[in-house]
Structure 1
Amino acid sequence: MYSNIIVPLAFDEDHNPDTALNVTRALAAPGARVTLVHVMADVPGYAISYMPEGYGAELRATLQKQLDQLAGEFENGAGVLRQGHPANEILDLIEEIGADCVVVASHRPGMGDYLIGSTAARVVRHAPCSVMVLR
C-alpha cells in the first residue's frame, strides 16, 4: 500500500476519472496523501487574443473546483492545478512532494506517441517511484 499517491487527471469527454480514483482507493494505505493534478497546456500567444477577457482565470477556477471536489473524496486529498508540459509537471510534482506512487491513465498509442512518447510513457520511464498505468 502507498502513502503518497499522485493521480493526474484530464478533464475532457475522452477521460473518465472513476477508474483512476477507484484504483487509487485500492492502493492507498489508511490516511494516505492523495494529490489529484491537472496540467493545463500553455496557450500559444496568437490564440490568447481570440479568448474573451478573464477566460483563463475562469477556466483555472473551474478546474480547481473540480479537482478539490474529487480530492474531497479522500481523507487527505488535495487538488493541484499546474501549467506546462504534462509529463514534466507530473515528474516535478513527484519530486516536490515525495510521492511513492503515480496512478496514470493511458490510451492506445498512435503514431505520434511512438515518435514523441505519451505522457504516461514519459512518466513510467523517468519516475523515481512506482507507476500504475491504467488502460
Structure 2
Amino acid sequence: MTTAPYDRIIACIDDDAASDRALEEAVRLRALGPGKLDIVHVAPRPLLLVSGPYGYVASPVDLYSEAQRWLRERAAEVPSGSPVMLEGYPPRATCEYAEQVGADLIVAAAHRGIVSRAMLGGFAAYVAYHAPCAVLLVRPAEEVDQESAEAG
C-alpha cells in the first residue's frame, strides 16, 4: 500500500484550453506519489461520413489514426503519463475504462462549449454521476479569472 493519495489517475483530454488545465492538475496530483497517470482521449464513433461537393471527407479510420497521433504527441509532453485512446460515447467510455483499470480519480474539464453540452448532454455531469471513483472537475482559467474580477 502506498501513501500517495491516488494510485491511478485518469486525465481526460481534448484539444482545448480547458482540457489543458485538467491535465496540468492531474500531473500535479500524480507528482505527489508513485501512482500511474493515464492520459485518456475518447474518439466518438462517427454516425455517417460522406463525401460532398466540396471535396474529400476523411474516413473514420483516418480520423481515428489522426486522433491517436495527436494523443501520442500530447502524452509525450507529460513525463509520467501513458496515452490511452478509447472509442465510443466519451463520458461512458471514460467511466467504463476507470472501472476496468481500478482508477482512484478522474480529472476532467468542468466546462465545455454550449454546442458540445447540447449535443453530448454534458461530459462532466455524466462522469460526475456515473464514475466508479472520485472525480475532480477543473474549471477553465477564464471562468476563474472572471469570478475573481467580479468579486474583487
Aligned equivalent of 1:23: 25
Instruction: Kindly provide the CA deviation profile for residues 32-80 of structure 1, in whole angstroms up to 9, marking residues without a partner as x.
Output: 21111111222123xx2228476322322222122222323132x2212
Give how far 1:18 is off.
2.5
Q: What is the CA-CA distance between 1:85 and the residue it aligns to?
A: 0.9
Which residue number in structure 2 is paired with residue 37 of structure 1?
40
Query: Which segments of 5 or more consecutive residues in structure 2 lack a partner in the other structure?
Result: 140-152
Identity %, equivalent residues? 28
> Given the superposition, is the C-alpha separation of residues 99 and 54 from structure 1 closer, same or farther in structure 2, using an over 3 Å criterion?
same
Are the equivalent residues in 1 in contact too, given 2:27–2:37 (CA < 8 A)?
no
Structure 1 contact 34–71 (Cα < 8 Å) conserved: no
Question: Equivalent of 1:131, from 131, 135, 138?
Answer: 135
Describe the shift of the 1:90–1:53 C-alpha distance in structure 2 as closer, same or farther (beyond 3 A): same
Cα shift at 1:98: 0.8
Residues 34 and 74, structure 1, Cα contact 8 Å, conserved in 2? no
Match of 1:50 in 2: 51
Report the number of matched residues. 128
Shift of 1:118: 0.9
1:7·1:102 contact (CA, 8 Å) conserved in 2? Answer: yes
Q: Which amino acid in structure 2 is aligned with residue 123 of structure 1? A: V
Shift in alpha-carbon separation, 1:49–1:117, aligned structure 2, 3 A: closer
Structure having the larger proportion of residues in strand: 1
What's the TM-score, normalizing by structure 1?
Answer: 0.78
Structure 1's unaligned 5+ residue stretches are: none
Q: Larger radius of gyration, structure 1 or 2?
A: 2
Cα deviation, residue 105, structure 1: 0.3
